[in-house]
Amino acid sequence: MTVIETTEADFQRDVIDASHQHPVVVDFWAPWCGPCRQLTPLLEKLADATDGSVVLAKVNTDEHPAVSQSYGVQGIPAVKAFVDGKIVDEFVGAQPPAQVQRFFAKLLPSEADRLAAGGDEVSLRAAIEAEPGHPVASLALARLLLARGEDAAALEVLGKVRGSFQADGLAARIRIGADPELDLGAALDALDDSRQEEALALLIDRVQRFPAQRDELRAIVVGVLDELGVEHPVARDARRRLAAALY
């Protein structure tokens, strides 16, 4: 289903949770709103054209004012795009069709995104060739290379990524992971075994004890926290302990 009507009770499930699986465009509208009657059919048409890649969730602001207020809606139609639980783009008022089409187009996966989703080395390298520094493909390829012991090649791939805490963290791990003074073996083993809470405790302990390597250790911790997500209880607790260790 590409077009749904959501409510205050279902907004978390229909929009926030669902946006971790695919982009969700929210149309804040009301029956009395003339521009809404012009814009909504276009939004529905564009959502249908994505074949489920983007879902349109409609919110009647008269019936569900609390949702509108919580997202700062002051005029309608108001359109907000959610990805991974966050607003990534928005506009207010009826817009020209070409502009609304561009709004949707930015939410659709690129060719590099589609290649990266393949997950195999050939697909990942093709994704990076199509979009150098593609964060998802670069991170996945670097992990494959690291597992084969090709540390230098993994660092080279990660060096082209910008704005990714996870990529920065993995690069820091490669640079200092074998330092005998830091003794990170147990922490990294726990991390590889998905025992993040144990790994974070050990890493944050090293942040306190080894100020000379603090930046690299912090990058590893922040990368793990970013992967866990803001709302993860382990991440919330570890973030507080990291702040205490740093300051």
Q: Quick check: 161 and 139 in contact, CB under 8 A?
A: yes
What is the pTM (predicted TM-score) of this model? Answer: 0.71
Burial grade of 90 (CB within 10 A; 0-12, 13-18, 19 or more): middle
Q: In the chain, what are the domain boundaries?
A: 3-105, 111-246
Q: What is the pLDDT of residues 155-200, one digit of tens each?
A: 999 999 999 999 999 999 999 999 999 999 999 999 999 999 999 9
Residue 56's H or E segment, with its range, is strand 55-60
Average pLDDT, the chain: 94
Q: Quick check: 176 and 184 in contact, CB under 8 A?
A: yes
In the set 18, 33, 204, 220, the catalytic residue is 33
String of b and e for 141-164 (b: at least 16 CB within 10 Å)? bbbbbbeeeebeebbebbeebeeb
Q: What is the pLDDT of residues 192-202, one digit of tens each?
A: 999 999 999 99
Q: What is the pLDDT of residues 22-49, one digit of tens each?
A: 999 999 999 999 999 999 999 999 999 9
Q: Quick check: 165 and 137 in contact, CB under 8 A?
A: no
Say whether pLDDT at 232 is over 90. no
Q: What is the pLDDT of residues 37-87, one digit of tens each?
A: 999 999 999 999 988 889 999 999 999 999 999 999 999 999 999 998 889
Residue 36 bears catalytic tag: yes
The reported pLDDT for the residue numbered 1 is: 66
Residue 240 bears catalytic tag: no
In the set 15, 26, 36, 76, the catalytic residue is 36
Overall CATH class of domain 3-105: alpha beta
